[in-house]
């Protein structure tokens, strides 16, 4: 069985298992790792993927792989993960999940656009609340890594709203 055929069979086999857990199957790869093979399953969902989610999906996927001899009985290592920040944004769900993030989009006319995703629906994406781009115009996008994110001051505002220093002073007075 060739690499593409094996990948297709794994996607067909694992897609329903991952969907039953409430996730989208983003990718499946099989690569040699010494005497074993590394089976990497990439999953995602709205709201992100927690470590508990990864553990649950991993158990279900492992059980299904053990039931079916799609890997030819050879040993494998299973890795279930979420997509990294470098994953290209190619599907409407990817753009929806990037809401609030700074992205750079390659457009079908050869130009590019950069901005913060303020809205994404089934027809297109809106950048910075002003520019709307239909999915037909988008080739792909990438989330831009930000070290000083625009909303970084929110923690200071929350501390002011909670009067953290006053609560600590009151506790010292009581003791």
What pLDDT sits at residue 2? 62
Whole-number average pLDDT of the chain? 84
What pLDDT sits at residue 85? 83
Out of 41-45, 124-128, 141-145, 157-161, least confident range = 157-161
Q: What are the sequence ranges of the domains in the chain?
A: 3-81, 88-143
pLDDT tens, residue by residue, 11-68? 999 999 999 999 999 999 999 888 888 999 999 999 889 999 999 999 999 999 989 8
What pLDDT sits at residue 132? 94
3-81 and 88-143, same CATH topology: no
* Fold of the domain built from segment(s) 3-81: GMP Synthetase; Chain A, domain 3 (3.30.300)
What pLDDT sits at residue 119? 93
What pLDDT sits at residue 148? 75
Confidence of residue 70 (pLDDT cuts 50, 70, 90): confident
Query: Between 3.40.720.10, 3.40.50.880, 3.60.21.10, 2.30.30.100, what CATH number should domain 88-143 receive?
Result: 2.30.30.100
| Neighbour-count burial of 56, counting CB atoms closer than 10 A to its CB (0-12 exposed, 13-18 middle, 19+ buried) | middle
Asked if 35 and 29 touch (Cβ cutoff 8 Å), the reply is no
Please spell the DSSP secondary structure of 113-160, one letter per residue. Answer: EEEEEEEE-SSEEEETTTEEEEGGGEEEEEEPP-SS-TTTTHHHHHHH
The mean per-residue pLDDT over the stretch 148-160 comes to 50
Among 43, 65, 64, which Cα is nearest to 54's? Answer: 43
Rg (the chain; Cα; Å): 22
pLDDT tens, residue by residue, 74-90? 889 999 999 988 889 99
Confidence of residue 159 (pLDDT cuts 50, 70, 90): very low
CB neighbours of 112 closer than 8 A, spacing ≥ 6? 104, 105, 106
Q: Is the torsion defined by CA of 76, 80, 82, 84 positive or negative?
A: negative
The mean per-residue pLDDT over the stretch 105-131 comes to 93
pTM of the model: 0.72
Whole-angstrom CA distances from 146 to 63, 85, 101, 143, 152 are: 39, 11, 9, 9, 10
Question: For residue 152, is pLDDT > 70?
Answer: no
């Amino acid at each position: 069985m060739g690499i593409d055929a094996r990948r297709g069979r794994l996607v067909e086999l694992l897609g329903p298992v991952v969907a039953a857990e409430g996730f989208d199957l983003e990718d499946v790869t099989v690569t040699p790792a010494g005497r074993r093979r590394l089976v990497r399953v990439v999953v995602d969902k709205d709201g992100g993927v927690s470590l508990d989610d990864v553990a649950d999906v991993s158990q279900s996927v492992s059980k299904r792989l053990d039931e079916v001899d799609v890997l030819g009985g050879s040993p494998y290592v299973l890795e279930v993960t979420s997509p990294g920040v470098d994953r290209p944004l190619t599907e409407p769900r990817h753009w929806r999940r990037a809401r609030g993030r700074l992205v750079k989009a390659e457009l079908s006319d050869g130009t590019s656009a950069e901005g913060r995703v303020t809205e994404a629906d089934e027809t297109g994406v809106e950048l910075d609340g002003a520019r709307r781009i239909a999915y037909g115009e988008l080739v792909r996008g990438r989330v831009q890594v930000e070290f000083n994110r625009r909303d970084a001051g929110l923690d200071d505002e929350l501390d002011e709203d909670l009067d953290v220093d006053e609560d600590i002073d009151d506790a010292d007075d009581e003791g």
